[in-house]
Amino acid sequence: MRPLAETAGIKVTTRLGSVTNAARVASVLADEKVDVVLHAAAYKHVPIVEDNELEGARNNVLGTQVVAEAALAAGVERFILVSTDKAVRP
């Protein structure tokens, strides 16, 4: 991915942190002057998440809210939520 991005003149930067850590998310967006957020962070092992509902909701739901609100506050041009798995018993 990186060579293709570099060819297109796109800077790719990786940072480690939790989507539930609002300060970290805001810091990364501000420090890197992010234009586009591709949000795909989620626990996707359904049986484990079903057995740990609060942690699953905290990461998957509240984490998405944290990233979306931080992107809005930072003036990010685009926020794209990527579904990382299929629905179970929809």
From 11, 33, 44, 86, active-site residue:
86
33 is an active site residue: no
Residues 6+ apart with CB under 8 A from 9: none
Burial class, 71, CB count within 10 angstroms (exposed 0-12 / middle 13-18 / buried 19+): buried
Q: Please write the tens of the pLDDT for every residue from 66-88.
A: 999 999 999 999 999 987 665 55
Model confidence, pTM: 0.81
Give yes or no for residue 90 having a pLDDT over 90.
no
Is residue 49 pLDDT above 90, yes or no? no
Q: Pick the closest to residue 36 from 78, 83, 82 (CA basis).
A: 78
For residues 5 and 11, the answer to whether their CB atoms sit within 8 Å is: yes
Kindly report, residue by residue over 16-43, the tens digit of the pLDDT: 999 999 999 999 999 999 999 989 878 8
Q: How confident is the model over 50-63, as pLDDT tens digits?
A: 899 999 999 989 99
